[in-house]
Amino acid sequence: MSDLETATPAEWDDLIDEWDEIRHGFYLGDAPAMVLRCARNLEASVAADGPDTALWTLGLVLTGPYVIYARPDAAAEARVLEAMGAVERTLGQASCAHEAHPCDDVSGADLDNFRYVLEMLAHPERDADHDAAPADEENWPDEEGAQSWFEGRMTREIWTCPRNLAGFARAFPG
């Protein structure tokens, strides 16, 4: 039996809510255990070339800093860094045709919008323009019409690109 959890869209919604609560510091559960759960699932997903690798990777980008900065835990930090290292080693050499990736210019301040990306990835039946998950107004197209990674450029293809996931893993905990 694989250590990799599978989740329904509704279960992903619950996980995304919990990850967001950890990021904002008001999760009432066992946050280190939740972060380690994400790291274990990420390692298993990468090893199995699982379909949810992007969700687990971006979930760890969102929650991993908790065990590094908010509540330092050397063992948990090592596990998180090990999981991110597996992403970088396994996916970092993949080829792709994208000129740019979100990992190239998404800042720490943009983590507030990661829940929208995670929701998009957890709900393949929705498209990026689904009105239930609009990104913050500051990420709307600017005066020149350029769109952020969280609006018109928010596509499943670009966010799940192996090079993008490896880029986020490489930059972690950035």
Assigned token pair, 161: 């690109």
Distance CA 76, CA 30 (A): 13
Cis? peptide before 173, omega within 30° of 0: yes
Q: What does the mean pLDDT of the chain come to?
A: 84
- For residue 169, what are the contacts with CB-CB under 8 A and spacing of at least 6? 57, 84, 85, 87, 88, 91, 92
* CB-CB contact of 27 with 34 (8 Å): yes
Out of 10-24, 52-66, 135-149, least confident range? 135-149
* CB-CB contact of 65 with 24 (8 Å): no
Average pLDDT over residues 81-108: 92
CA 101 from centroid of its chain's CA atoms = 14
What angle separates helix 31-47 from helix 9-24, to the nearest 10 degrees? Answer: 130
CB atoms inside a 10 Å sphere around CB 87: 27
Domain boundaries in the chain?
A: 9-171
At 156, which helix (H) or strand (E)?
A: helix 156-160
| Confidence grade of residue 64 (pLDDT, cut at 50, 70, 90) | confident
Reported pTM: 0.85
Quick one: DSSP state of residue 73?
-
Q: What are the angstrom distances between the C-alpha of 79 and each of 36, 106, 162, 174?
A: 7, 24, 21, 17
Out of 30-39, 45-54, 140-149, least confident range? 140-149
pLDDT tens per residue across span 126-165? 754 544 444 444 444 445 544 555 665 668 899 999 999 9
Q: What is the pLDDT of residue 130?
A: 47
